[in-house]
Amino acid sequence: MQKQKRKLNLFKDSRGGIEIIILLIIFVASIFIVGGIFPKLSKTDPNAEKFTAITGIPLDSHNSLQLKTIKFKKCLGQTNVDLLLDRTGSMGERTPTGQTKIARLKEAVLVLTGQLSDQSVVGIQSFSSESITDDVPISYYKDVKGIISSKVNALNAGGQTPTHDALAFSLDRLKEAIPKFPGRQFNFILISDGQPVPPSQDPRLFNPNPADEIKNLRVNVYTLGIFTSGEASEPKLAELLKSIASRPENYYEAQTGDQATKLLEAILTKICEQTN
């Protein structure tokens, strides 16, 4: 009986020892898992790229680009633009790439009009001392898109620069057209490469000034000057075109005719921004 009691106590003692050993194993294992008794803090690499979480901004740039494209297409459906094109003799001069300025202007106009939608409104007039013509009557794009290419490609350079008379001609076209499209914001773009010839054709010499009369119709006026070598430093044409534009930032300057397409697209983008 005494032996049995001793065995029972020994068994109890051994059970307690096993439990202590198990607890020690668990404790040691947990220390290794968390990195030791005194775990080392991770150091931040000062050269590592830093990221800032910004809430409320979509991270999908593709969706953002799609949204901009949708807005641009919507804007084109509301765009109303009338162009007055200089086709005087100096537009026959060559650009650094060997093309004539008039050829580059034709390309630019066709790129611009090619981005319009059927519900856009477009018109094109052109001028020189030989004639001032209503090449594409101000109409819905869908009604005139079939003739734009042939009319633009038929333009030839020649003659002098009757700037006043050309602006007065476009003024009359706008006065006739605007009431036909109520509630729509019209934009007018004059593209020229030279000062008025003769000097008496400077619109600023007239009262009323046809450029101011166009602005008084609530038309946003843009101007694009196409320079050639040596003219870029001549401020007189720039001053004239800035005075014709609705505001100074509506004046654009092409150092050569090769930049015409890029700058006309920039004007169209600005028109869309203001439309929205």
Considering the domain boundaries, does residue 10 fall inside one?
A: no
48 compared with 263, residue with greater pLDDT? 263
Q: How far apart are CA 109 and CA 88, in angstroms?
A: 16
Phi first, then psi: give them for residue 41, nearest 5 degrees. -75, 140
Considering the domain boundaries, does residue 189 fall inside one?
A: yes
* Nearest C-alpha neighbor of 101 from the set 274, 237, 255, 268: 255
Task: Give the global pTM.
Answer: 0.74
Interval 147-161: pLDDT, tens: 999 999 999 999 999
Considering the domain boundaries, does residue 37 fall inside one?
A: no
Considering the domain boundaries, does residue 49 fall inside one?
A: no
pLDDT at 76: 62
Q: Are 180 and 123 in contact (CB under 8 A)?
A: no
pLDDT at 109: 97
Structural domains counted in the chain: 1
Using the CB atoms, write b or e for 33-70: b if 16+ within 10 Å. Answer: eeeeeeeeeeeeeeeeeeeeeeeeeeeeeeeeeeeeee
Considering the domain boundaries, does residue 257 fall inside one?
A: yes
Considering the domain boundaries, does residue 170 fall inside one?
A: yes
Q: Give the pLDDT band of residue 276 (cuts 50, 70, 90).
A: low
Q: Give the pLDDT band of residue 68 (cuts 50, 70, 90).
A: very low
Whether 229 has a pLDDT exceeding 50, the answer reads: yes
Residue with tokens 């008794």: 37
Interval 121-149: pLDDT, tens: 999 999 999 999 999 999 999 999 999 99
Considering the domain boundaries, does residue 48 fall inside one?
A: no
Considering the domain boundaries, does residue 243 fall inside one?
A: yes
| Domain encompassing residue 234 | 71-275
pLDDT at 143: 98
Q: Give the pLDDT band of residue 43 (cuts 50, 70, 90).
A: very low
Q: What is the CATH number of the domain that holds 173?
A: 3.40.50.410
Percent above pLDDT 90 for the chain: 65
